[in-house]
Chain A
Amino acid sequence: MRTLRVSGVAVRVHVRACVVVACLTAAAAGLGLLALSTGTAVSPAGALRTLLGRGDAASELVVYAFRAPRTLLALLVGAALGTGGAVVQSLSRNPLGSPDVIGVNAGAAAGAVLMLLVVGGASTTAVSLASLACGLGSGLLVYALSFRHGVQGARLVLVGVGVTAMLNALISYLLTRAELDDAQGAKVWLIGSLAGAGWDRVWPVALAVAAALPAALATSRAAALMEMGDAAAGALGVRVERLRLTLLLTAVGLSGVAVSCAGPISFVALAAPQLARRLTRAPGPGAAASAAMGALLLVAADLLAQRLPTPGQLPVGVLTAGVGGLYLAWLLHREWRPSRWAGRG
């Protein structure tokens, strides 16, 4: 931790965290460029020419109509999930806390599955809207149900688990009662996929990230204090109940929108903050580092999903869990010394 002083204004800077955020952002941007320039229809050189404004009409169509929205969606959804995860983990003081835990993902998934299997024949926009509405609704329901003389962190999470269990049971039930083809289609949505993304799916996530990321960054310090416990944070001047509501709304908004546009892509929200925390070695959730890590994870996984020689294209959710899970397992294996784990969370 260093203190920077510029003409009377002092800013405390965690140098290592800043370096890590810069590196992760650069890596995510680099992979994004790579994703834009790989594919069968347009060569990498052609794609680069197009990006510089000197391509022909055909390659402009491929790059701007197909590849750019998908790549941007991967980066933005990754950032949204990473930030949402970081916020919920400090909100719940639990390394397992992620928007899945407070009911947002399950609600969004149930909304989409109801639309796909019960209503039937719904357009992509209708499915997205239904999942957004149900995701936000179940997130707020969890908050309302756990409110009693203020919200206790542990109660919030446990109520979320209860609501999630109900919604997941509903999804399993609907899957067993549907025709096989419909159920299979719903399953692909439930794994999370970026295939066929257009600009109409990019804008909502871009708006959500633009609105919520500054809020997450602004509350980052106070959230780090809140991880020490409500009493300690209150004594240090944090208005705990108001902060908790702000954090919850941020997380619910971010992940609700992300899930409605790309499906409940698993594990990014859980893994990104944990990985970021290990790299920055900073106290607190580190919203910026988590966002950059989430974007990197998702864009890498999507690149793999497009390039792997499988019979059909794999949904990206398969690879996020595969890549993120193995990376986290490897990190845990490397950090084998128990002493380094004293007091970590």
Chain B
Amino acid sequence: MRLTGLALSVGVLAVTVAASLAVGSQAIPLPELWRQLWHPDGGESAAVLHELRLPRTLLGLCVGVALGLAGALMQALTRNPLADPGLLGVNAGASLSVVCAILFLGAHDVTAWVWFSMAGALAAAVTVHLLGSHHPTRLVLAGAAVSASLLAAVNGVLALDSGAFDQWRFWDVGALAGRPLDVVAQVAPFVLVGSVLALSLARGLDAIALGDQAGRALGASLGRTRLLGGLAVALLCGAATAAAGPIGFVGLMAPHAVRAFTGPGHRRLLAHSALLAPAVLLGADVLGRVVARPAELESGVVTAFVGAPVFIYLLRRRRVIAP
């Protein structure tokens, strides 16, 4: 039963990956797709596949895995169903450092922004952790406080400088398109380390879910789990935001949707979140290419517009299971 479920998740992900490679303003039939993937003949569809679709599919996989795991981790660490991966201040930190890089250092392309936004995300996450690591409620409040202050700084800069605002608004909407393969190579190591760390914490997270006292009585080291969990969230979410901009909602929604059929155990929850969150993101990206043809809708917009109704439908059908 469990293996069937896992196989089903893998199957869904594989279908969306194939769709993401094949569908677009120039559709590529599957047999040709397979051939061009391994033996590019230098034609037009080979160029489309290798220069446009492959980078954005790999990026979608990377970002989706990161957001799904970070969301599940964050909800477990704070025991708060509202916890969003951005809550540790990660998105706000990344935003502020991207805006500063545009404004003061004249950095104008995605590959340069990646390192700034990683650094900003990590710095914000460390601050939040120092302020609030003792208690879930404090962590949530500290994250909200730090995010608000950082976003205030971003807004202040953007209100005064229209040039920076012009570049920022296209980063802020959240998109997978237009990122070269270098960006994937830059962020993939962080996502890999973060994912391994997240999956290794499953047992500790189960103990945290029981409450601090019960968890401690069961012999779990809460401080260690919180520290490593926070580090994993910062790595995963920092990398995802750096590469694609702040894509909201996937990290919040995927664990809730997954919890409805896995139950609250974290080993299965994390595994399924890591498989289904990229499927959601890539599906949204494909949909964004189809609905507005020949133009495109950014995947950040589509995830919210498709994800939210599905999410609300799930909430109405089932009893809400808090993490």
A contact set with B: CB distance below 8 Å: 94-96, 101, 145-146, 148, 152, 154-155, 157-159, 161-163, 165-166, 168-170, 172-173, 175-176, 180-181, 183-184, 187-188, 191, 266-267, 270-271, 274, 310-312, 314-315, 317-322, 324-326, 328-329, 332-333, 335-336, 338, 341, 344-345
**Are the C-beta atoms of A165 and B304 separated by less than 8 Å?**
yes
With A95-B140, A328-B141, A329-B142 as contacts: A321 and B149 at CB distance below 8 Å:
yes
Which of B149, B173, B253, B304 is the one whose CB lies under 8 Å from A326?
Answer: B149
Please give the distance in Å from B178's CB to the nearest CB on chain A: 13
Alpha-carbon distance between A267 and B146 when the two chains are bound, in angstroms: 11
A336 to B301, CA, bound (A): 40
Q: Is the CB of A161 within 8 A of B82?
A: yes
One of A155, A170, A321 near B315 (C-beta < 8 A): A155
Please report the C-alpha to C-alpha distance between residue A163 and residue B82 in the assembled complex, in whole angstroms: 13
* B153 part of interface (Cβ distance < 8 Å): yes
Chain B hits for A181, CB < 8 A:
162
**Separation of A318 and B151 alpha carbons in the complex (Å):** 8
Q: Are A315 and B166 in contact (CB under 8 A)?
A: no
Contact present for A163 and B140 (CB under 8 Å): no
**Beyond A168-B248, A191-B159, 4 extra complex contacts between A and B, CB < 8 Å:** A158-B82, A180-B166, A183-B169, A310-B160
> Which of B134, B149, B151, B312 is within 8 Å of A159, CB to CB?
B312
- B contact residues around A154 at 8 Å (CB): 81, 320, 322
Complex Cα distance, B157 from A187, in Å, reads 12
Whether the pair B308, A322 counts as a contact (CB closer than 8 A) is no
For residue A96, which residues in chain B have a CB less than 8 angstroms away from its CB?
80, 82, 140-141, 144
| Closest-CB distance, A216 to chain B (whole angstroms) | 22
**How many residues of B are in contact with the other chain, CB < 8 A?**
56
List residues 116-155 of chain B with CB under 8 A from any CB of chain A: 131-132, 134-135, 137-138, 140-142, 144-149, 151-153, 155
Cβ–Cβ contact A341 & B307, under 8 A: no
Q: Once the chains bind, are B304 and A166 in contact (CB under 8 Å)?
A: yes
Nearest chain-B residue to A160 (Cβ)? B82
The interface bits of chain B over 279-306 (1 if a CB of A lies within 8 angstroms of the residue's CB, else 0) are 0000000000000000001101101110
Least distance between A335 CB and chain B CB atoms (Å) = 8
Query: Which B residues form the contact surface with A (CB < 8 A)?
Result: 80-82, 131-132, 134-135, 137-138, 140-142, 144-149, 151-153, 155-156, 158-160, 162, 165-166, 169-170, 172-174, 248-249, 252-253, 256, 297-298, 300-301, 303-305, 307-309, 311-312, 315-316, 319-320, 322
Residues of A close to B315: CB separation below 8 A:
146, 155, 158-159, 162
Residues of B within 8 A of A183 (CB): 165, 169
- Docked Cα-Cα span, A344 to B149, in Å, equals 24
A187 CA to B160 CA, complexed, in Å: 11
CA distance A209 to B151 in the complex (A): 28
Taking the closest CB of chain B, its distance from the CB of A341, in whole angstroms, is 4
Number of A-B contacts defined by CB within 8 Å: 174
- The CA-CA distance from A330 to B71 in the complex, in Å, is 27
B241 CB, nearest partner CB in chain A, Å: 14
Known: A159-B315, A166-B305. A187 touches B158 (CB 8 A): yes
B152 pairs with A319, CB closer than 8 A? yes
A321 to B92, CA, bound (A): 12
**Bound Cα distance A341, B136 (Å):** 10
A175 near B82: Cβ-Cβ < 8 Å: no
- Chain B residues with CB under 8 Å of A94's CB are 80, 82
CB neighbours (8 Å) of A324 from chain B are 145, 148
Closest CB-CB distance, A105 to chain B, in whole Å? 13
Closest to B78 in A: A96
B149–A329 touching, CB < 8 Å: yes
Closest A residue to B302 by beta carbon equals: A169
Q: Are A101 and B316 closer than 8 Å at their CB atoms?
A: no
Q: Which residues of B contact A341 (CB under 8 A)?
A: 134-135, 137-138
Q: Please report the C-alpha to C-alpha distance between residue A169 and residue B174 in the assembled complex, in whole angstroms.
A: 9
Closest Cβ of chain B: how far from A60's Cβ, in Å?
32
CB distance from A249 to the nearest CB of B (A): 21
A-B contact pairs, 24 of them (CB 8 A): A96-B80, A154-B322, A157-B81, A157-B82, A159-B312, A161-B252, A162-B308, A166-B309, A169-B303, A172-B173, A173-B297, A184-B162, A184-B165, A187-B165, A191-B155, A191-B159, A266-B152, A270-B144, A312-B160, A318-B156, A325-B149, A328-B144, A332-B138, A332-B145
Q: How far is the CA of A324 from the CA of B148 in the complex (A)?
A: 8
Q: Across the interface, which residues of B come within 8 angstroms of A271, CB to CB?
A: 145, 148
Given contacts A155-B315, A338-B135, whether A172 and B301 have CB atoms under 8 Å apart is yes
Q: Would you give the shortest CB distance from A299 to chain B, in whole angstroms?
A: 17
- Residues of chain A within 8 A (CB-CB) of B82 are 94, 96, 101, 157-158, 161
Q: Report the minimal beta-carbon distance from B37 to chain A, rounded to whole angstroms.
A: 32
> With the chains together, A147 CA to B320 CA distance in Å?
13
| Cβ-defined partner of A274 (8 Å) among B80, B135, B141, B151 | B141
